[in-house]
Structure 1
């Protein structure tokens, strides 16, 4: 009820702000395209609605674009708590944006070769985290803007990231620019039937990722039969801009991603049950919801069925972490212990060793 007359009345005090409304629901991507088409400034800045900018957030972004107009720049994204709106700095050090081969966004350390003497200096990033960035308006439209064939939301951050790198530009994260973002526990709106994140991701893969798209389909075979819609205009844009191929992108830009997320994963070191020989009990993941302690239970294989239970199967992978499940069907949780004396819990896998690093000695 606050988004119509009350919003219009409130915004009257801001002479430079215009409210533009669509006639029907268009989704994030096409609505951003509409806003960009009506903007008159030299630089376009895209933010989510559930954001709050910090002090002096804009000049560091504009400075980088002034140095090279073919640069897309992203602020560091801090966290606004969805319960009480408290503001917290982004966890950990500055990191590069990356992805795995199911197209989940990841963060990886800045390699020594790219580290700057001053940690506040902008640094190259293969992909952006989401939709918070600034770009020269003419360059944005030279790149074709967002692909208008992407539905509602999802995948657009990969599309714009691949495109800017492969078509003659670059992308930087800027530590001196800070923007707070509310991360919600659930999506407070319905996504119309017939639209899907999977379709968007396949559309991006088919347009930009060349033979590397196969690594996605190997992990997500259900994507193979999805329709992407007509991508001929996107293919023609790529040809017109004389964009490089995705093999170049992986070699020149995202060369450190395979170290953490290899297209072809090495085989696991071991898999099976974890048995305490003295007590003749097995680790069982049914007691291990995220954040709770793993416990020992009667070994299912010792029962009448003489077969392993899925809850008692674990894989010790090439990352030297331990995950529930057999090698081809592991879950996204890892054995996690904050110290040698603390209990072992299941926690979201981060792939950075540390408190999820396990050694196996025969």
Structure 2
């Protein structure tokens, strides 16, 4: 095992001012014993990383996390001749201790004969501390086991999507696991996944996720879930399908409409199915696109209860403060290539006109050619056979913001949550104002608008 020694901040002092930065979410459940100066240091690090790197630096790189697998998982035996895996970690300006803990965790929780290599993809970090400490660790690791850790450094920032493809290109094992670099692994995480892929190489697998709390690094258990998305293509957890519950077996694979993020895939199948859409920007929507494509083109997506991974849910994202712009653009690419007549649902969700949206989604000709070459099913098939829980709008009359004709700076809004009575409010175009109207609702809405307009004019 390899070690990194990190300087621990000075010993906590008694009778300190606990009201320094009282409004920061970092100190809601942590840090009451810190001096004001150490609170300032911790807050500065939190604002940079989006999690409590001050605390992370004091935790063991080899700390144990609770085994939250269903009880039946402990009684399962797996084949001895499982394929090897390359584990890829993607990061930009990550705290060194967090990256190193991810690496230590995967090494300690994966049988040595199954873990072929670790691939680190640094998406053009400008954090010198990260570069120095990580390179020292890589050099030490490779001195013990030549070639075990590969380092890919981008000369410009490519975003999470293209970074994952960079990691895949560097990997050499039959199976590739593409993970964020702020995770910790539970015992026997790899064997269930490798076993399922060995049985069927067209399966793409997600572990079940738990949460590493960003403020105190405690592990929060998440319930077993499938993974899905809404029409804006934001990811969401779903209840496992009824068929899974009927099995009465909490260790059984969960059929999932989509992937939330981290996933494991047969290396060659990933190429055959088209990798990720590198025409997308930064991140957001790429995992939905991959999931829809895999299902429509003959593969499947599963979440495994017996493989668990703890993941830091950051307080804020590292790439950009304007993530919504990139997710919207990426979502429209998915809609235009894969969603057929249902692409209008994505435009409606984002409140964008279908024609002349003004959003440049880039060249999608290669992705359309990929779909034709793979002879994929329709999105209608996907909705009815894979994601029947997804609401469909089949008799839409109109969508958009509803403006008052007498005072056109006022729009229909949802009103206070307490009574949910529609109101007029200054037009802002955010999520509480877009309206989708079907034929049944049209008359009621027309009457409602007439009443509101009359009252506003009065």
Answer whether TM exceeds 0.5 for this pair: yes
Partners of 1:201 and 1:155 in 2: how far apart? 6
Q: 2:260 aligns with which of 97, 116, 129?
A: 129
Report which of the two has the higher share of helix: 2
CA distances 1:258-291 after superposition (whole Å, capped 9, x unpaired): 3xx343699xxxxxxxxxxxxxxxxxxxxxxxxx
Tell me the residue number matched to 2:288: 158
Alignment-derived partner of residue 242 in structure 1: 375
Q: Is the 8 A contact 2:205 2:302 kept in 1?
A: yes
Q: Do the aligned partners of 1:164 and 1:170 also contact (CA within 8 Å) in 2? A: yes
- What's 2:250 paired with? 119
The structure-2 alpha-carbon separation of the partners of 1:22 and 1:111, relative to structure 1 and needing over 3 Å to count, comes to closer
Distance in 2 (alpha carbons) for counterparts of 1:78 and 1:324: 37
Helix, strand or coil: the match of 2:187?
Answer: coil
Relative distance call for 1:218 and 1:17 in structure 2 (3 A) is: same
Structure 2 equivalent of residue 337 of structure 1:
none
Deviation at 1:108, TM superposition (A): 2.7
- Please report the TM-score for the alignment, with normalisation by the length of structure 1: 0.70
Task: Give the greater-gyration-radius structure (CA).
Answer: 2
- Is the 8 Å Cα contact of residues 211 and 219 (structure 2) preserved in structure 1? yes
Deviation at 1:164, TM superposition (A): 0.7
Contact 1:101 1:263 in 2 (8 A): no
Asked if the contact 1:53–1:179 (Cα under 8 Å) also holds between the matched residues in 2, the reply is: yes
* Displacement after TM superposition at 1:5 (Å): 2.5
> Contact 1:51/1:182 (CA < 8 Å) preserved in 2?
yes
**How far apart in 2 are the matches of 1:309 and 1:137?**
50
What is the CA deviation profile of residues 166-185 of structure 1, one whole-angstrom value per residue up to 9, with x for unaligned ones?
A: 11100100001111111112
Distance across 2 between alignment mates of 1:311 and 1:24: 43
- Give the CA deviation at 1:308: 12
**Using the alignment, how far apart are the partners of 2:210 and 2:324 within structure 1?**
33
TM superposition shift of 1:4: 1.6
1:233 to 366, 372, 382: 366
Matches of 2:243 and 2:323, distance apart in 1 = 46
Tell me if the contact between 1:75 and 1:174 (Cα under 8 Å) persists in the aligned partners: yes
Shift of 1:210: 1.0
Tell me the distance in 1 between the aligned counterparts of 2:412 and 2:157. Answer: 47
Which residue of structure 2 aligns with residue 50 of structure 1?
A: 182
For the aligned residue pairs, the C-alpha RMSD in angstroms reads 3.1
Shift of 1:60: 1.0
Match of 1:31 in 2: 163
Q: Alpha-carbon deviation of 1:188? A: 3.6
Matched residue SS, 2:151: coil
Q: 2:20 maps to which residue? A: none
Contact 1:314 1:326 in 2 (8 A): no
Q: Aligned partners of 2:395, 2:260: CA distance in 1, in Å?
A: 24
Cα contact 2:328–2:350 (8 A) shared by 1: no
- Rounded to whole Å, the distance in 2 between the matches of 1:249 and 1:193 is 27
Which moves more between the two structures, 7-16 or 218-227? 218-227
Partners of 1:194 and 1:76 in 2: how far apart?
A: 26
Q: 1:311 to 1:247 in 2, by over 3 A?
A: closer
**C-alpha displacement at 1:12, in angstroms?**
2.4
Q: Unpaired segments of 5 or more residues in structure 1?
A: 267-306, 316-321, 333-362
Corresponding residue of 1:292:
none
Contact 2:415-2:423 within 8 A present in 1 as well: no
Whole-Å Cα distance in 2 between the matches of residues 218 and 165 of structure 1? 24
User: Which residue does the alignment assign to 2:139?
Assistant: 12
Select 1:3's aligned residue among 123, 130, 133: 130
Tell me, which stretches of 5 or more residues in structure 2 are unaligned? 1-127, 397-409, 434-458
Q: Report the equivalent of 2:113.
A: none
- Distance in 1 of aligned mates of 2:350 and 2:227: 22
Q: What is the DSSP-based 3-state SS (H/G/I as helix, E as strand, rest coil) of the residue aligned with 2:211?
A: strand
Contact 1:71 1:172 (8 Å CA) reproduced: yes
